[in-house]
A and B are shown apart, each in its own frame.
Chain A
């Protein structure tokens, strides 16, 4: 079916037939198709080891796919795209311990051709936007895990990407911090209008945060199911999680992640009919 021109221009990321095999012959992704429209917050769920990180690394241009095509804003991904940032799960290894928090956030901005003063100002602004206005002079290892992950989010935001990839970003923080960070991502998405791909193995999180949930197969990864999340956009940790729609969708995603078959029409349609 031919799409109208205007809609086509809104596709930010287009993945067709993506396959990736590691050097040892292990096939992590096998013929994955995925299209992400501009401005969407897409949750990608799948069991651990199914190939989620491999998928993100291919999108980020850090891994060269064995076959298949990836295009970002219409241009094929060949090397690391310019307006893309990644937040890794392992914040303590992803932040540079020899740099202060502010310099960690400011470092990538060298690629933006900004002066030292501009970089520092942008870093400070990004730190304030994630709730860490006073942490700039500290070193990453002087902060708690949740604060460190906020710093790496700030670093990604300061870079002003149009596509933000997050690889299980809240996998190693406590429950309370996790909820705060989920809300931070929702707020960032609302205010900055960037496209976000959030990889998680947490089913509740995928539904709570996402506009849409893509469930991946057990290894090798392929799209197993693709569900719109019809929840109201103003989300609240207690209220939203109590909605019958949320409970139903979570159960459905859970069933799919465990390998359950797709039941046509079982996914709640967007708009909330219930």
Chain B
């Protein structure tokens, strides 16, 4: 996943949706055919229709819903803390060159470590549940937000800053009123990237940590019982749908909030 993606993607939405729907339909029909024709063992790969039916059924299952709530809580908490840490840090690193060079080395060392590789370590140190999930999510989510904030600051027009300065605003005011505002579309993209990272980690830590609650836990436990494949797949469908909904909502919000940014990009500049 790239850290520097151009913010709000304003692609033609109907085209995207049509292609996405077609892909899902093909997959659905293929698995349905495989399952029903008995090519693959039913308990190994249940037909798509029965997985879907189970997924819908789970929507009314209060146990399952409380698991989903645990996962979403970890997701939201982790993402929020990451924003609260990475945005100010990015502002600092992006606007004070001396701090930037000092921290650069630490950043370059930590960044290549895949967050998932830290799950066992976090389990040892932090135990299980939110205690362990949230710090991991925070750690993983900080990177895209941090880098996008710094990248966005780099892109701020010096004349815009100079303009506000010419009206007597001080450095801090210019940082908040011009630099932060101008970098906001990039920061938002970083948050969107982090939102999917956070979900992957929330579910991933739950699956790997062995006990506790959460959507990942539900999937992991279903995998240990015979005939559990249907539940595993239904849980996975849920994870996928949650990810899709989060991404769609965030893309929509970006397009709405940063209309000015899109207009600038497609404009004369």
Interface residues of A (CB under 8 A from B): 60, 62, 80-82, 84-86, 88, 90, 92-94, 96-98, 107-108, 111, 139, 141-142, 159
Min C-beta distance of A141 to chain B, whole Å: 5
Residues of chain A lying within 8 A (CB to CB) of residue B162: 62, 88
Min C-beta distance of A221 to chain B, whole Å: 20
Contact (A85, B167) CB under 8 Å given A90-B159, A93-B159, A96-B181: yes
Q: Is the CB of A93 within 8 A of B167?
A: no
Q: Is the CB of A94 within 8 A of B260?
A: no
Closest to B184 in A: A98
**In the complex, B160 has a CB within 8 A of chain A:** yes
Interface residues of B (CB under 8 A from A): 157, 159-160, 162-169, 177-178, 181-182, 184, 258, 260-261, 263-264, 267-269
Pick from B159, B163, B167, B264: contact of A97, CB below 8 A: B264
Main secondary structure on chain B at its contact with chain A?
Answer: helix
Closest to A93 in B: B159
Q: How far is the CA of A97 from the CA of B259 in the complex (A)?
A: 10
Contact (A97, B166) CB under 8 Å given A90-B159, A92-B268, A107-B177: no
Contact (A97, B168) CB under 8 Å given A86-B163, A92-B268: no
Min C-beta distance of A258 to chain B, whole Å: 30
Min C-beta distance of B156 to chain A, whole Å: 11
Q: Is the CB of B169 within 8 A of A111?
A: yes
Residues of chain B lying within 8 A (CB to CB) of residue A62: 162, 165-166
Q: Is the CB of B181 within 8 A of A98?
A: yes
Q: List 23 A-B contacts (CB under 8 A).
A: A62-B165, A80-B165, A80-B166, A84-B166, A85-B167, A88-B159, A88-B162, A90-B159, A92-B269, A93-B157, A93-B159, A93-B160, A94-B160, A94-B163, A96-B178, A97-B260, A97-B264, A98-B182, A108-B164, A111-B167, A111-B168, A111-B169, A142-B263
Q: Is the CB of A108 within 8 A of B263?
A: no
10 more contacts with CB within 8 A, not counting A62-B162, A111-B167, are A82-B168, A88-B162, A90-B159, A92-B269, A94-B160, A97-B263, A98-B258, A107-B177, A108-B168, A141-B260
Q: How far is the CA of A3 from the CA of B263 in the complex (A)?
A: 56
Closest to B263 in A: A141
Closest to A111 in B: B168
Residues of chain A lying within 8 A (CB to CB) of residue B269: 92
Q: How far is the CA of A81 from the CA of B166 in the complex (A)?
A: 8
Q: How far is the CA of A113 from the CA of B78 in the complex (A)?
A: 39
Listed from nearest, the 8 A-B pairs whose CB atoms lie closest are A108-B167, A97-B260, A86-B166, A93-B159, A94-B163, A80-B168, A98-B260, A141-B263
